[in-house]
Amino acid sequence: MSTPAMAAMRSLRNDPGAASRELPKGTVRRVLGVARPYRRELTYFLLLVTGSSVIGVVTPLLAGDIVNRISRLDGTAGDIVRIALFIAGLAVVDAAISVATRWFSARIGEGVIYDLRSRVFEHVQRMPLAFFTRTQTGALVSRLNNDVIGAQRAFTSTLSGVVSNVIGLVLTAGVMLTLSWQITLLSLVMVPLFVLPARRIGKRLQEITRESYGLNASMNATMTERFNVAGALLVKLFGRQSSEAEAFRGRAARVRDIGVLSAMYGRTFFTALTLVAALATALVYGLGGWLAFTGSLSAGDVVALALLLSRLYGPLTALANVRVDVMSAMVSFDRVFEVLDLQPMIREAPDAVPVPADDRSIEFDSVSFSYPSAQDVSLPSLEEVSLPEHGGPVDVLHDVSFRVEPGQLVALVGHSGAGKSTIANLVPRIYDVTGGSVRVGGIDVRTATLDSLRDSIGVVSQDAHLFHDSIRANLLYARPDAGETELWTALEGARIAALVRSLPEGLDTVVGDRGYRMSGGEKQRLAIARVLLKAPGIVILDEATAHLDSESEVAVQHALDAALSGRTSLVIAHRLSTIRSADQILVIENGRVAESGTHDELLALRGRYADLYRTQFAAGADTQPAVA
């Protein structure tokens, strides 16, 4: 299969809908900005492509010259050998140009992929948590892979294809016209015999290619969800292996059928191209031979025309769809720019100051908060299901005020959905308040540098996340420069050093996907060890023992003693017994502080806290010792 034919085939697969899509203003300028670091390589690349196109036209003319010299016995055998050697030299040069073109193409293409992927990944890392709660992971990964690669093709296959096809077509048609305008025109008349059926094939190819992409994306999403530990466990617990396999086989069977159809359409395309080229070649030899016998054309010109004809149809077909090719690449760029243009809601102020290291206080001053709307944090194209939201953002917190002095332990209690985790998330600035202010060390968190704020705060959530890596790597995530002694000191403080020492691989033991090779209590203690290694001045515990059995909870509570000792602590409590010794307890109801005081004060008040406490006693849930 020739390169022009393969390029034409790829062109036919592109979605014609891309050509009708209206791109935002400035997209082309931004694309040129992406290419700016590679403008020198692009210049060399285009010069090499032009040189290869010129060689492709010159070679048939030299072959025709040899035939003319032989048929007329013009010149000497040495002249023919010299021309043949020159043709051979051009072939060597063309081969070298091909290698150099591929190097520049790879250099530009891979460089563009690197730049765009790095920018998108870094940008996504700065998006607020609400972005990730709405976005479908597979769609986001697709922007980093499929769309970035589609954008890369603009500088490699699309750009080189357009340049080489235009130059090759103009030179080929021009030379053929100078040799025989009659044969050239008749050859062009035959083009519709190939192009029109090819467009029909292309339309069908576009339909099945689009369906194939959708099915592959669906299968990837299914595998991602079913192959992680939680998904696999759910399938097993409900005994849905057979139905899952059946649904997957249905999609895979359609992909298989599409593959067969695509192969047959492709073979039909190449067969049609070969047939038309063969018919045109027969026309050249027939009409050209007749003209040669009448003296209107030389034998060498007939050979040259036949050789040039093979370079005519592929470029014509590819250029017939060039607008779709270019717009497909531009749409890929637009989808990448769409992610880059979504500004993160949490941004560092230009005049941000570091959080004071000697002040570990936390203060909420008349704080109100509502979660951001979809248009503020996400893109409809990144959501599996995106429905319009009505009524605007709903307030979650209302006029919340309290203060945690350095070294104090303040507990938040209340029913699920009352706003406890939301309050905790406002301290490390996972979200920004919509009213009032949150201050850490006397500094409004919105005016603090993000690095100093995150360095000052350690968080242990109820579902401690561990990366699919070693225990060592998961601990070093908190402090990459920590030494071996510091790692073991943190593990000792979290009461899990003995377990890690008993493992065959020790610190190099891989914890599995999301830490599923460890029990819930072990994961929590590793998370506490990670916080101890970080050594922050403020610790936030978000129901860190809520889902543990009694034995695991006792071990985790001992680890928490070390984590909270001497630190300012904000604790979201599930079991009220664990916070009886707290300096202050806040009862949160419907986003408001309903009650506040010590354990004894709140019991004496006989209000909401006393009701919650008596309910837990009656249920037999209050069996654990208090946090020291």
How would you classify the pairing of strands 443-444 and 435-440?
antiparallel
Whether pTM exceeds 0.75:
no
Identify whether the C-beta of residue 433 lies closer than 8 Å to the C-beta of residue 368: yes
Q: What is the pLDDT of residue 436?
A: 93
- Distance CA(161)–CA(170), nearest Å, equals 14
Q: How confident is the model at residue 6 (pLDDT cuts 50, 70, 90)?
A: low
Identify whether the C-beta of residue 578 lies closer than 8 Å to the C-beta of residue 557: yes
How would you classify the pairing of strands 435-440 and 409-413?
unpaired
Average pLDDT over residues 553-577: 75
Q: What is the pLDDT of residue 211?
A: 73
Is it the case that residue 493 has pLDDT exceeding 60? yes
- Distance CA(115)–CA(545), nearest Å, equals 43
CA 277 from centroid of its chain's CA atoms: 43
- Distance CA(405)–CA(384), nearest Å, equals 45
User: Residue 190 — φ and ψ, nearest 5°?
Assistant: -75, -10
Give the residue, 62 or 191, on which the prediction is more confident: 62
Q: What does each C-alpha distance from 258 to 84, 205, 247, 463 come to in angstroms?
A: 47, 9, 17, 43
Q: What is the pLDDT of residue 368?
A: 93
Is it the case that residue 623 has pLDDT exceeding 50? no
Q: What is the pLDDT of residue 3?
A: 54
Q: What does each C-alpha distance from 424 to 89, 241, 411, 436, 525 come to in angstroms?
A: 74, 40, 11, 15, 20
DSSP string, 66-87: HHHHHHHT-S-HHHHHHHHHHH
Supply 392's token pair: 């605007």
Identify whether the C-beta of residue 610 lies closer than 8 Å to the C-beta of residue 413: no
- Distance CA(275)–CA(475), nearest Å, equals 66
Supply 485's token pair: 């002694």
pLDDT digits (tens, 9 = 90+) for 466-483: 888 888 998 988 888 888
pLDDT digits (tens, 9 = 90+) for 216-226: 767 776 777 77
Average pLDDT over residues 320-339: 75
Q: What is the pLDDT of residue 64?
A: 84
Q: How confident is the model at residue 586 (pLDDT cuts 50, 70, 90)?
A: very high
Supply 280's token pair: 């045109």
Q: Where in the chain is the domain with CATH 1.20.1560.10?
A: 14-341
Q: Which residues are CB-neighbours of 477 under 8 A, at least 6 positions away?
A: 467, 530
Give the residue, 138 or 548, on which the prediction is more confident: 138
Q: What is the pLDDT of residue 7?
A: 55
Q: Is 53 exposed, middle or buried (0-12, 13-18, 19+ CB in 10 A)?
A: buried
Average pLDDT over residues 522-547: 81
Is it the case that residue 544 has pLDDT exceeding 80? no
Identify whether the C-beta of residue 119 lies closer than 8 Å to the C-beta of residue 337: no
- Distance CA(56)–CA(165), nearest Å, equals 11
Beta bridge partners of 430: none
Identify whether the C-beta of residue 559 lies closer than 8 Å to the C-beta of residue 567: no
CA atoms within 13 A on the CB side of 323: 7
- Distance CA(467)–CA(564), nearest Å, equals 24
Average pLDDT over residues 154-158: 74
Is it the case that residue 16 has pLDDT exceeding 60? no
May I ask the CATH architecture of the domain 405-432+448-618? 3-Layer(aba) Sandwich (3.40)
Task: Give the 3-state secondary structure of 442-492.
Answer: CEEHHHECHHHHHHHEEEEECCCCCCCCEHHHHHHCCCCCCCHHHHHHHHH
Is it the case that residue 391 has pLDDT exceeding 50? no
Identify whether the C-beta of residue 166 lies closer than 8 Å to the C-beta of residue 7: no
- Distance CA(185)–CA(332), nearest Å, equals 38
Identify whether the C-beta of residue 508 lies closer than 8 Å to the C-beta of residue 470: yes
Supply 350's token pair: 């230009």
Average pLDDT over residues 398-420: 89
Task: Give the 3-state secondary structure of 256-283.
Answer: HHHHHHHHHHHHHHHHHHHHHHHHHHHH
Supply 94's token pair: 């063309």
pLDDT digits (tens, 9 = 90+) for 242-263: 888 888 888 888 888 888 887 7
Is it the case that residue 553 has pLDDT exceeding 70? no
Q: Where in the chain is the domain with CATH 3.40.50.300?
A: 405-432+448-618
Q: Which of 13-22, 321-330, 438-447 has the highest mean pLDDT?
A: 438-447
Q: What does each C-alpha distance from 64 to 70, 90, 521, 556 come to in angstroms?
A: 10, 15, 83, 88
Q: What does each C-alpha distance from 13 to 207, 220, 258, 322 come to in angstroms?
A: 8, 22, 13, 12
- Distance CA(410)–CA(585), nearest Å, equals 6
CATH code of the region 14-341:
1.20.1560.10
Q: What is the pLDDT of residue 1?
A: 45
- Distance CA(445)–CA(438), nearest Å, equals 6
Q: What is the pLDDT of residue 8?
A: 54
- Distance CA(39)–CA(34), nearest Å, equals 10
- Give SS3 for 401: strand
